[in-house]
Chains A and B, each alone.
Chain A
Amino acid sequence: MTCCSKWNLKSEKFHQESAPLPKTGRSIVLTTVKTHTYLSTNIQMSEVTQNLSGAPLNRRQFLTRSLAASTAFAVPNIIPASALGRGGAVAPSERIVMGAIGLGGRGSGDLGWMLGEADVQFVAVCDVRKANREGAKNAVDGKNGNKDCAAYRDMRDLLGKHTEIDAMLIATGDRWHTPASILAMQAGKDVYCEKPGALTIAQGQALVAATKRYGRVFQTGAQRASEANFIVAGELARQGKLGKVHTVYAHLGYLPDWPRVNAVLPPQPEPSKEELDWDLWLGPAPWRPYNPGFIPQYPSPGWYTQYDFAGGIPQWGSHTILQCQLDLGLADTSPVTYEYPKDLKGAGMTVHFANGLKLVAKCDGWRGSCGVKYEGPDGWVAAADGYEKPDVSSPSLLRDSKKLLQDYLARNQRPLNHVRDFLNCVKSRRTPVTSAEVAHRTMTTNLIMDICLDLKRDLKWDPVKQEFPGDDEANRLRSRAMREPWQV
């Protein structure tokens, strides 16, 4: 169709009006943003000047790209400060401006990681807990050498006020991951959000849709996807060095008991909203009386163990099942059958993909944490945290590991740094390795395993229609109503 269209409200019908196409190659009057904050700023007429087409990118874009291009395959871990002529500092106009939501244990760790990247500048932080908020602000101010970092209790205030922010770090409790990510993307921010990516299958679908809708870059914090040992293990599988992989194993380090619980603790007086905003802490989750026992991740009854606040299998599966699917080229789908396990904590739980691959998620038999193992007719490989190199069935499998890794990085133009991968994609507009789609499809596997355990029976799944065929009971568990006013 080569026309512009309008909605004819009077006749309540659609009709189209012919309009000229923009002609390629001619000079036309367009607008240019003066400041560097185009990534998120609502571009106002007062901020722009008229200019001719073909004008160069602003310095931020051009310089960043030039530097990346001139470093051949190695996407730079930082922009070389010397090249910017600033003797160790990246010029303010070249930085990715960031904000952060959720700054407890993991969030402050992620914040520290990102603060270590030379081209990142945080300007605002948000946490419903005062102590976390202030700790994060101090960390940011310390890096920036000033006291300017804004601190918020309510993420809506941060997202509404800071139009200059390009990207958000989100490391809240699991119940907030999807709603906060979607709010941030609706506000025009790219998002690095901790795993698990979603609490329900419907949330995952909404996450993918929002990412596409606003053209945002989203990375779920499954950092092992950017670690050498896991990449080598994945490459051995992908390159056929193990033969046709028939079975993969994923580590389940922690599991709640089934049926999952919502612990009942005696109500206690709510702290002041400034100290800890309980309503915002709960967010989209069902309301319950305040008790400080829910605030930490664990020990039980911390939020980690609660049905309303977190998944069961996803606690570890969002690391390891994601890694298995990513490495086996199955991160755009989910298994089709789920076997209700006789001995979950021993033999584990088995699911099958449409291509015949079997995935066994289990707690026992691992060396190291967050492990994965891939088996084929020609050998096996395993990787986990703390390994010096992957475990293999035969040393010869690792003979070319350096080249395997090098080729992977060249082929995918990626660094061995998960946060850096995200930041590079913020600049290049490419899709990070653990995108919203990867997060959603792999979380679907995790969440269906939870549903299987909740219902105590085998399940079948249609990954195309994203439904349990002919299984109304299971289909009803794909979503949970969110507490008003939150929606995804």
Chain B
Amino acid sequence: MDNLTENGSKPKESIVMQISKLKQTLIVALLSSGVYPAMAQAPAKEQEAKLIAVLQSNAEFLQKADACRELARIGSADCVPVLAGLLADEKLTHMARYGLETVPGPAADEALRAALGKLKGRPLVGVIGSLGVRHDEKALAALAGLLKDGDAEVVQAVARALGKIGSAEAAKPLLATLPDVPAISQLAVCEGLFRCAEALAASGQNDKAIIIYDTLRNLKQAPHQVLAGALRGAILTRQKDGLPWLLEALRGSNLGLMLAAERIAIEMKVAEVSKVLADELAKAAPDRQLVLCNVLGKRGDATALPGLLGLAKAGDKAARVAAIRAAVEIGNAAAAVPLTELLKDAEGEVAQAAAVGIAGLPGPEVDACVLRLLGSGDQAVKLKMIELVSQRRIATALPLLLKIRDDKDEALRSAAIRCFAELASETEISSLLERLVTNTNAAEIAAIEKALAAICAASADPKACVAKLVAALPKAGPEAKVALLRTLGVAGGTEALNAVRGAVDDSNKDVHTAAIRGLCEWKTGEAAPLLLALAKSSSGQVDKILSLRGYLGMAAKQDVPAPQRLAICRESASMIQRDDEKLLLLAALANLADPESLNLIVPCLDVPAVKREAVATVIAVAEKRQKNHSVEITRAALKKAAEIVTDKPELAKRAHDLLQQMESEK
């Protein structure tokens, strides 16, 4: 499907919009005929008679085609003669079959069969195909006779039709012709035989299906896909007895067959396959071990685990890694302990595969194994286990991690704190805060802050979280306070906002700055009045600028109503002194598309440092103009914009185009 409809637009609207253009250019006579038109409401017999009458009339081609299409749904034996009469009509032959193919009862079969002897070329090819679709056993003899036809398309159509009929009798002429069939039609004959074999196997005639598959397997000069398909059929039909063929192909050097066998082994439901292939693992060369691991992993049968885990211990490196992956893919917790024994393997890739594997193994037994090693292993193992605890999100590890976070080994301590922070939930907030308030280690503070932020963001009761954070503020050192202020921003809400505002007055400079930044980055417009007040009252220039910028930023918040956003812009405009903030103001106004915004933009047209951006903003607002826009103000702003932006011709052109457009709208 074309991605034109996946771009988020509404294609229906574009269709409607563009139909008018098409009408102008194509002079479309859109007699859009319903596939099931109004007459479908009439009783079926009456309706059928009308459709037959259409076919017997001098109606146009498309009307007759529509009648055939409708007869495919409701036609009975009554319509067969007239449809059959169209089979020789090169233009309507397809639609005649379209109607006939679904008509119930023997009349349609007989009509199609009768046409075999009268038609040639494509119409004949079509009729042969339809007899196949209808599984017409009575057509077998006539079809078989056409297998020697000089027209390759006819031969191929017959081969496929016999395949669709799919009986033992249908297979016989195909088998007979197979040795001598011209190369151009060989694939079609094979296809027919495959279909017969499938139908025979589906009806319990496995012995006959096997004969066909074996014949195809032994076909000389056969395309690889035929040999692969025949191997598949021969093995799957034989079930357990086909295993020797499977092994032979997997061991062999014919790569086409080996790949086929690989897929068959994945597909095969027979339970013994996994055991046989697992036994083969130890004997196979490394490249075949990779293939076997791929199959065994996908089969997901735990009986293969011992073999795979044995291979994982020793042998070719790539094969060992593949064995680990396969063992993990089987998804049995029994693999956990053996894999932990590989964590210190001399081959780094093997150790890494084992670690990744344990992370992905499902089951509480695996968690227990990880916890056991976390409590008893050496430093290297513990570090690895902490990583696994984090990846597996083993919440029951929290008490152990609490112990380790006081370990004298800094690497362990740090890892434990990071991991604890990742796993902690709302019940651990107090514990995290306790650890945070007196902490001065930057990495630990960052980890705890990250954890607190994640907990607050996912909390169903953010107010409760905020209460705990606010209560911790007075006890916190400056570094921790900064972290808490940022976390309050994540949590949000009025209480959090008030706490951050309170910290603006903190005597510590870092805390003070963090509080102002927190207000500036507040995720809702609730902070706007506080920022305005700070922008007006702050004694420090930096604070003033930061607050003003934060205030202007509120004009971009989607939760702030448009009138309030305009009010923010208006208020800010009177306070702005620097060009940087003027640019921020223009950016906010460009999105508002409010007529009054032009009054705020026009003065900027006279400021050299921002005039180009001001012109762009005038154009943006004018382009989005609505009926309530003052035409005079807009026109004046555009004229001025066009005049002063001589160094940017594309902007000038847009302004002129808009002016012209406005003229034409008068």
Contacts and interface: CB of A to CB of B under 8 A. Distances in A.
B470 interface: no
Contacts of B442: none
Interface stretch (B287-295, B430-438, B600-608, B624-632): B287-295
A213 interface: yes
Given A104-B2, A429-B266, A396 B460 contact: yes
Given A25-B283, A53-B251, A65-B287, A109 B3 contact: yes
Given A32-B253, A215-B232, A413 B3 contact: no
Interface in B264-283: 264, 266-267, 283
A264 interface: yes
A214 B229 contact: yes
Contacts of B31: 263-264
A261 B172 contact: no
Interface stretch (A93-101, A335-343, A461-469, A472-480): A472-480
B79 to A, nearest CB: 13
B224 A188 contact: yes
Given A65-B318, A213-B198, A287-B91, A481 B133 contact: yes
B94 A61 contact: no
A238 interface: no
A388 interface: no
B35 A262 contact: yes
Nearest to B258: A57
A31 B253 contact: yes
Nearest to B295: A429
A259 B35 contact: yes
B223 A42 contact: yes
A144 interface: no
Contact of B454 (A24, A318, A394, A399): A399
B308 to A, nearest CB: 12
Interface stretch (A118-126, A298-306, A352-360): A298-306
A73 B15 contact: no
A407 B360 contact: yes
B285 A54 contact: yes
A400 B287 contact: no
Interface string A403-440: 10011001101000000000000001111000000000
B444 interface: no
Interface stretch (B139-147, B208-216, B403-411): B208-216
A298 B352 contact: no
Given A22-B244, A39-B256, A262-B33, A299 B18 contact: yes
Nearest to B173: A9
A72 B329 CA distance: 11
B207 A299 contact: no
Interface stretch (B5-13, B379-387, B501-509, B559-567): B5-13
Interface string A11-55: 010101000011111001011110000111111100000011111
Contact of A484 (B22, B36, B94, B175): B94
B29 A429 contact: no
A272 interface: no
A56 interface: yes
Contacts of A14: 168, 207-208, 211
Interface stretch (B47-55, B65-73, B582-590, B638-646): B65-73
B256 A38 contact: yes
A196 B72 CA distance: 23
B95 interface: yes
B128 to A, nearest CB: 9
B93 to A, nearest CB: 7
A234 interface: no
Contact of A297 (B4, B29, B100, B353): B4
Contacts of B252: 30, 53
A430 B266 contact: yes
Contact of A472 (B6, B101, B104, B362): B104
Contacts of B19: 299-300
B4 A298 contact: yes
Contact of B29 (A44, A266, A315, A319): A266
Interface in B92-126: 93-95, 97-98, 100-102, 104, 122-123, 125-126
B318 A70 contact: yes
A193 to B, nearest CB: 10
A217 to B, nearest CB: 8
A386 B19 CA distance: 29
Nearest to B328: A410
Given A7-B211, A38-B224, A261-B34, A286 B98 contact: yes
B612 interface: no
B538 interface: no
B122 A485 contact: yes
A103 to B, nearest CB: 11
B2 A106 contact: yes
Contacts of B313: none
A265 B29 contact: yes
Contacts of A479: 101-102, 133
Nearest to A409: B360
A386 B8 contact: yes
A253 interface: yes
B160 interface: yes
B177 to A, nearest CB: 11
A72 B104 contact: no
Nearest to B293: A69
B153 interface: yes
Nearest to A318: B1
Nearest to B40: A259
A5 B98 contact: no
B22 A299 contact: yes
Given A31-B254, A262-B33, A254 B11 contact: yes
A270 interface: no
A387 B555 CA distance: 24
B348 to A, nearest CB: 10
13 contacts: A9-B172, A24-B247, A73-B325, A213-B195, A215-B259, A253-B5, A253-B10, A262-B66, A266-B26, A297-B2, A301-B22, A472-B104, A481-B129
Given A2-B241, A385-B6, 11 more contacts: A7-B215, A9-B172, A57-B288, A65-B322, A70-B318, A73-B356, A186-B191, A188-B223, A293-B22, A304-B5, A487-B157
Interface of B: 1-8, 10-12, 14-19, 22, 26-37, 61-62, 65-66, 69, 72-74, 91, 93-95, 97-98, 100-102, 104, 122-123, 125-126, 129-130, 132-133, 153, 156-157, 160, 168, 172, 175-176, 187, 191, 194-195, 198, 206-208, 210-212, 214-215, 221-229, 232, 238, 241, 244-245, 247-248, 251-256, 258-260, 262-264, 266-267, 283, 285, 287-288, 290-291, 293-294, 297-298, 317-319, 321-322, 324-325, 328-329, 331, 349, 352-353, 356-357, 359-360, 362, 391-393, 454, 457-460
